[in-house]
Amino acid sequence: METNKIREDFPILKRTMSGKPVVYFDNGATTLKPQPVIDAITNYYTYLGANAHRGDYEMSGQVDDAFEGARKTAQKFLNAKHVEEIVFTSGSSMGLNEIAIMVTRQYLKEGDVILSDESEHASSYLPWLQAGKEKGTKIDFIPLDEEGKITIENFKKVLTDQVKVVALAMVSNVLGFTAPIKEMAKICHERGILLVVDGAQSTPHLPIDVQDLDVDFYVLSAHKMCGPTGVGVMYGKKKYLDELQPVFYGGESNARYNKCGDLILKESPLKFESGTQPIEGVIGMAAAMKYIDSIGKENIHEYEVELKKYFLEQTKDLENLIVYNRNAESGIVTFNMKDKGQLIFAQDVASFLNTQGIAVRSGQHCAKLLPDILQVPATIRASFYFYNTKEEVDRLVAALKEVTLENCVDIFF
Partner 1 sequence: MAIDPTLLREIIMDHYEYPRNKELIQDDSYLSRHMASDSCIDDITVQSKIANGKIQDIRFDGTACTIATSSTSIMTELLVDKTVEEAKEILENYFSMIDQKEYDEDLLEEAVAFQNVGKQANRINCATIGWKAMRDILKESEGE
Contacting positions for ligand PLP (CB under 6 A)? 91-93, 121, 123-124, 169, 173, 198, 200-201, 221, 366
CA atoms within 13 A on the CB side of 162: 13
**CA-based nearest residue to 275, from 242, 253, 258:** 253
Distance of CA 322 to the CA centre of its chain: 25
**CA-based nearest residue to 88, from 194, 227, 207, 295:** 227
Identify which of residues 163 and 170 has a Cβ nearer to ligand PLP in the complex: 170
In contact, 114 and 195? CB cutoff 8 Å: no
Residue 178, contacted partner among partner 1, ligand PLP, none, CB below 5-8 A by kind: none
Segment interacting with partner 1, rule: CB under 8 A, options 32-40, 57-65, 163-171, 360-368: 360-368
Residue 378, contacted partner among ligand PLP, partner 1, none, CB below 5-8 A by kind: partner 1
User: Can residue 354 be called a binding residue for partner 1 (CB under 8 A)?
Assistant: yes
**CA-based nearest residue to 385, from 338, 333, 341:** 333
**CA-based nearest residue to 366, from 202, 152, 179, 169:** 169
Q: Binding to partner 1 (CB under 8 A): which residues in 51-80?
A: none
Binding test (CB under 8 A) with partner 1, winner from 40, 378, 393, 403 = 378
Minimum distance of partner 1 from residue 379's CB (angstroms): 10
Q: Which amino acid is at 177?
A: F
Active site residue 408: no
Minimum distance of ligand PLP from residue 29's CB (angstroms): 6
Minimum distance of partner 1 from residue 114's CB (angstroms): 25
Identify which of residues 38 and 343 has a Cβ nearer to partner 1 in the complex: 343
In contact, 155 and 184? CB cutoff 8 Å: yes
Binding test (CB under 8 A) with partner 1, winner from 364, 373, 386, 393 = 364
The whole-angstrom separation of Cα 84 and Cα 161 is 32
Distance of CA 22 to the CA centre of its chain: 23
Residue 151, contacted partner among partner 1, ligand PLP, none, CB below 5-8 A by kind: none
Identify which of residues 6 and 328 has a Cβ nearer to ligand PLP in the complex: 328
The whole-angstrom separation of Cα 363 and Cα 72 is 38
Minimum distance of partner 1 from residue 94's CB (angstroms): 21
State the catalytic residues: 366
